[in-house]
Structure 1
Amino acid sequence: MEEQESASSTYGGKTVEQCESMIQKGLQTPMVRFLRERLEKAGCPVANNFFRAVNCEKNVSGGYIRGEGIIVCVNKIAVQDEVNQVLAHELIHAYDDCCAANLDWTNCAHHACSEIRSNHLSGDCHYKRELLRGHFKIRGHEQECIKRRVMASLSGNPYCSEAAAKDAMEAVWDVCYNDTQPFDRAP
């Protein structure tokens, strides 16, 4: 991924400065505030420089980078809701990294578990989001969406073949899908 060139560089219709403003606004949303507070309570402080707007080469909206923080991809987001969603999703990864003993992102099962949790708990697979993506199914849409998104994410992990990713996801599904920490129940 490329770092930002300057505060006013434009990528995909948004400037880094506009995206940074959207990040600041997103940090005020109830879910993002809640997740940030839980990270702090877990002993993992989150400074404002934990969140960055960058141009991304990969086809992703954002990411969590251990030891660095969360990036939001300037060239892949268009509206505030997308930024809010990226922040919530990636903060769940940060929470997992903070709280899970010996989390190893190169381990397919560990990575799959965090992806299951982040897609489930952030609302990434809410039926309205699925409709906007062109996926329409009355029953089972959420779990189908989570599985699809987990596989897409694991496909970017060089340590996980497609078969290993599928096996890992299936092996950890029940435990990870039902783990709603830091929430009392799935939002």
Structure 2
Amino acid sequence: MARATRTNAQPTTGGGGVPSAAPGGGLPMAECEKMIRRSLRDPKVKFLREKLEKSGCGIGSNFIKGYNCEEAIAGGYNRAEGVVVCCNHLQIQDQVTQVVIHELIHAYDDCRAANLDWANCAHHACTEIRAAHLSGDCHYKRELFRGFLKLRGHEQECVRRRVMQSLASNPNCSETGAKDATEAVWNICYNDTEPFDTVP
């Protein structure tokens, strides 16, 4: 979850904070903004933007923005702010594009579910499961880059781990509450591929 200003990002009840993809360094703002513009040409990003438009939640040119974030997150989504890309925690184009895809899935969930409550652990867990699963966050190459080497069952394990990392920033979710909420909604949310026909 992230609400951001140009120089920092603070947690709020929005949704979808992605664990930081880079341990340090980060991108200069101008370069990051170029990468955000490049990400808009990615087929998944284009598809999600079209689906948001068709669902009545069109997004303007300022919906996806680069920021320097204090929190150790790669990005976030907030109804009021749109998609935040934490430039100071990212290093390459693939990471920027991945954050944009992940956060647009949250935006899509927020659009299609009129009653999505980010303070509700189960609601938050569901959209995090979907975003981690459908965005490609847990592709084995990305997991290898993070230092997780497991050939069987890595994807579901990764999704669960990343959901727990995101829910840790929700003040309404204790660790036990986050685990219970994740298990309660796992099957329905993991198997929900909307707006994709199948897992991309």
Q: How has the CA–CA distance of structure 1 residues 141 and 48 changed in structure 2, closer, same or farther, with 3 Å as cutoff?
A: same
The alignment status of 1:54 with 2:67, answered yes or no, reads yes
The alignment status of 1:24 with 2:37, answered yes or no, reads yes
Q: Pick from 3, 6, 13: which aligns with 1:4? A: 6
Whether the 8 Å contact between 1:4 and 1:16 is mirrored in structure 2 is no
Q: Which whole-Å CA distance do the structure 2 matches of 1:31 and 1:141 have between them?
A: 22
Q: TM-score, with normalisation over the residues of structure 1?
A: 0.94
The one-letter code of the counterpart of 1:84 is T
Partner of 2:174: 161
* Structure 1 runs (4+) greater than 6 angstroms displaced: none
Structure with the higher fraction of residues in helix conformation: 1
Q: Which whole-Å CA distance do the structure 2 matches of 1:12 and 1:48 have between them?
A: 27
The one-letter code of the counterpart of 2:169 is G
Whether the 8 Å contact between 2:125 and 2:185 is mirrored in structure 1 is yes
Kindly state the Cα deviation for residue 59 of structure 1 after the two structures are TM-superposed.
0.5
Kindly state the Cα deviation for residue 54 of structure 1 after the two structures are TM-superposed.
0.4
Q: Which whole-Å CA distance do the structure 2 matches of 1:185 and 1:48 have between them?
A: 28
Q: How many residues align?
A: 182
Percent identity over paired residues: 62
SS at match of 2:52: helix
Partner of 1:8: none
Partner of 1:132: 145
Q: Which whole-Å CA distance do the structure 1 matches of 2:173 and 2:114 have between them?
A: 21
Kindly state the Cα deviation for residue 101 of structure 1 after the two structures are TM-superposed.
2.9
Q: Which whole-Å CA distance do the structure 2 matches of 1:31 and 1:170 have between them?
A: 28
* Unpaired stretches in structure 2, ≥5 consecutive residues: 8-23
The alignment status of 1:40 with 2:53, answered yes or no, reads yes
Q: Which whole-Å CA distance do the structure 2 matches of 1:43 and 1:13 have between them?
A: 35
Q: Which whole-Å CA distance do the structure 2 matches of 1:132 and 1:165 have between them?
A: 26
Q: What's the Cα RMSD here?
A: 1.3
Whether the 8 Å contact between 2:26 and 2:89 is mirrored in structure 1 is no
Q: TM-score, with normalisation over the residues of structure 2?
A: 0.88
The alignment status of 1:123 with 2:136, answered yes or no, reads yes
* Unpaired stretches in structure 1, ≥5 consecutive residues: 6-10
- Residue by residue, what CA displacement relative to the aligned partner does 1:24-45 show, whole Å, maximum 9, x if unpaired? 0001110101011100011001
Kindly state the Cα deviation for residue 3 of structure 1 after the two structures are TM-superposed.
2.2
Whether the 8 Å contact between 2:4 and 2:84 is mirrored in structure 1 is no
Q: Which whole-Å CA distance do the structure 2 matches of 1:183 and 1:65 have between them?
A: 22
Kindly state the Cα deviation for residue 15 of structure 1 after the two structures are TM-superposed.
1.9
Partner of 2:19: none
